[in-house]
């Protein structure tokens, strides 16, 4: 089963691309939400070992506490990533195995496709890109956060790797242009992998 990796910065339109692909029958693994699921189940014990019992509040992951701990501590962030990334990678492999042979390909969506090494688990990679002011505007609309908060989150992300390494780029300027590009990528990949 061939695999497409989808990446892009905050508000670039990754999830929108994933939704369009799903509408065409392509199963998409959302690594962000699957990582959250794993952190509530399989990974709870190692995460509590690393951060202490404060890592969970009631049954929920205390994201604020964890974010505050790793914010100025890259070593701790590396150790958290060393717990989460391999588990998500293995879960993706299991999921991919379970998908029907009838679909032309499957996809993996990850904001950190290259940084996490997930790119090695896919055959081709796609960067979803949009003008930065547009990304801020869309994210503010979606999350209700302030433009400055979104700018700070963007500044924290490193999209250079994806800019240089991605096999395909989709420019998400408008919704109709996006749908057209996703459709032609879908047709190209179907042709390539038939």
Residues in contact with ligand ATP by the rule CB under 6 A: 8, 10-16, 111, 138-139, 142, 172, 174-175, 178
- The two tokens of residue 147 are 């433009």
CB closer to ligand ATP, 80 vs 112: 112
Q: Cβ of residue 73: shortest distance to ligand ATP, in angstroms? A: 23
Q: Cβ of residue 46: shortest distance to ligand ATP, in angstroms? A: 25
CB closer to ligand ATP, 16 vs 69: 16
User: Please, are residues 9 and 127 in contact by the beta-carbon 8 Å criterion?
Assistant: no
CA distances from 119 to 47, 71, 89, 143, 175 (A): 25, 25, 10, 28, 26
CA distances from 75 to 70, 101, 142 (A): 8, 41, 32
* Closest residue by Cα to residue 6 from 29, 22, 24, 25: 29
CB closer to ligand ATP, 45 vs 183: 183
Q: Cβ of residue 137: shortest distance to ligand ATP, in angstroms? A: 8
Separation CA 92–CA 29 (nearest Å): 7
Q: Cβ of residue 42: shortest distance to ligand ATP, in angstroms? A: 23
Q: Cβ of residue 19: shortest distance to ligand ATP, in angstroms? A: 7
Q: Cβ of residue 54: shortest distance to ligand ATP, in angstroms? A: 26
Separation CA 44–CA 10 (nearest Å): 26
* Closest residue by Cα to residue 40 from 28, 25, 55: 55
Name 174's Cβ contacts closer than 8 Å, sequence gap at least 6. Answer: none
CB closer to ligand ATP, 15 vs 51: 15
User: Please, are residues 164 and 125 in contact by the beta-carbon 8 Å criterion?
Assistant: no
CB closer to ligand ATP, 121 vs 138: 138
CB closer to ligand ATP, 106 vs 111: 111
């Amino acid at each position: 089963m061939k695999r497409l990796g989808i990446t892009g910065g905050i508000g670039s339109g990754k999830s929108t691309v994933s939704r369009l692909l799903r509408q065409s029958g392509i199963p998409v693994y959302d690594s962000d939400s699957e990582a959250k699921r794993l952190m509530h189940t399989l990974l709870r014990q190692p995460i509590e070992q690393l951060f202490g019992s404060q890592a969970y509040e009631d049954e929920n992951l205390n994201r604020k506490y964890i974010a505050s701990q790793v914010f100025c501590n890259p070593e701790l962030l590396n150790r958290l990533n060393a717990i989460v990334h391999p588990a998500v990678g293995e879960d993706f492999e299991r999921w991919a195995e379970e998908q029907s042979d009838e679909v032309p390909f499957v996809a993996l969506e990850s904001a950190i496709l290259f940084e996490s090494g997930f790119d090695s688990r896919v055959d081709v990679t796609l960067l979803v890109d949009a003008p930065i002011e547009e990304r801020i505007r869309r994210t503010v609309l979606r999350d209700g956060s302030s433009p400055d908060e979104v700018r700070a989150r963007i500044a924290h992300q490193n999209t250079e790797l994806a800019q240089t390494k991605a096999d395909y780029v989709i420019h998400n300027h408008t919704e109709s242009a996006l749908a057209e590009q996703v459709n032609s990528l879908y047709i190209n990949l179907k042709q390539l992998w038939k």
